[in-house]
Amino acid sequence: MENKILEIFIPGPAGRLEAKYYKSKKSTSPIALILHPHPQYGGTMNNKVIVDTFHTFVENGFSVLRLNFRGVGKSDGTFDNGQGELSDAAAALDWIEKENPGYNQCWVSGFSFGSLICMQLIMRRPEVNKFIAISPQPNVYDFTFLAPCPISGLITYGKNDELVPEESILNLKKRLMMQKNIEVKFDSIVNANHFYKGKIKELSSSVERYLKDKVTVF
């Protein structure tokens, strides 16, 4: 990894957003935005799952941005129950697209609460090609807005998730599998909890397999 990961601030709807950014040397490289867990439960862009996912995208040729939502770290503003955080994510996507006008694919990924924001974002941004949702919480958040889910992607979760009953994930899977013209892959990580304690390597492998299968290289 010859290029450096830059610590930056980008403009957001509630002020500056603290972020970290890696720019690929190829102007046509795909881009990715990574979204962190719930700000009121310790979620930041330096969460271990977020950092590891960021590096997995980098190692697979992406220009990648991860950010702190409003009120987290050095980002301006205060928590806004998901609405403001969705606006933050949209602003971050605007920024990375402008920085990489020649990109060939656009991906969005999120972990836990971040996966909710990820899925809401893809409903609003038709330029996004693929998503990776890590440990979504359909038992907590209503995902019926995915009607239909507009693009294909990966949903990965821990088989021993203490916060999300597997039944709720399987119900989401059943609903998405009935939709036409998309393919959502579900990948369960054996013996993994919600935060992938001791299973980060297995999670990374799941993400990387999907990237290598789906990334378009120019």
Delimit the domains of the chain by residue range. 6-214
Q: Is the C-alpha dihedral spanning 174, 179, 180, 182 positive or negative?
A: negative
Report d(CA 114, CA 34) in Å as an integer: 8
What per-residue confidence (pLDDT) applies to 2? Answer: 57
Burial of 121 (0-12, 13-18, 19+ CB in 10 A): buried
Q: What is the CA radius of gyration of the chain?
A: 16
CATH topology classification for 6-214? Rossmann fold (3.40.50)
- CB atoms inside a 10 Å sphere around CB 170: 14
Taking only the tens place, the pLDDT of each residue in 175-214 is: 999 999 999 999 999 999 999 999 999 999 999 999 999 9
Give 37's DSSP letter: S
Please, which residues have CB within 8 angstroms of residue 152's CB and are 6 or more apart in sequence? 130, 182, 183, 184, 185, 214
Taking only the tens place, the pLDDT of each residue in 122-174 is: 999 999 999 999 999 999 999 999 999 999 999 999 999 999 999 999 999 99
pTM listed for this prediction: 0.97
Residue 1 has pLDDT above 80, yes or no: no
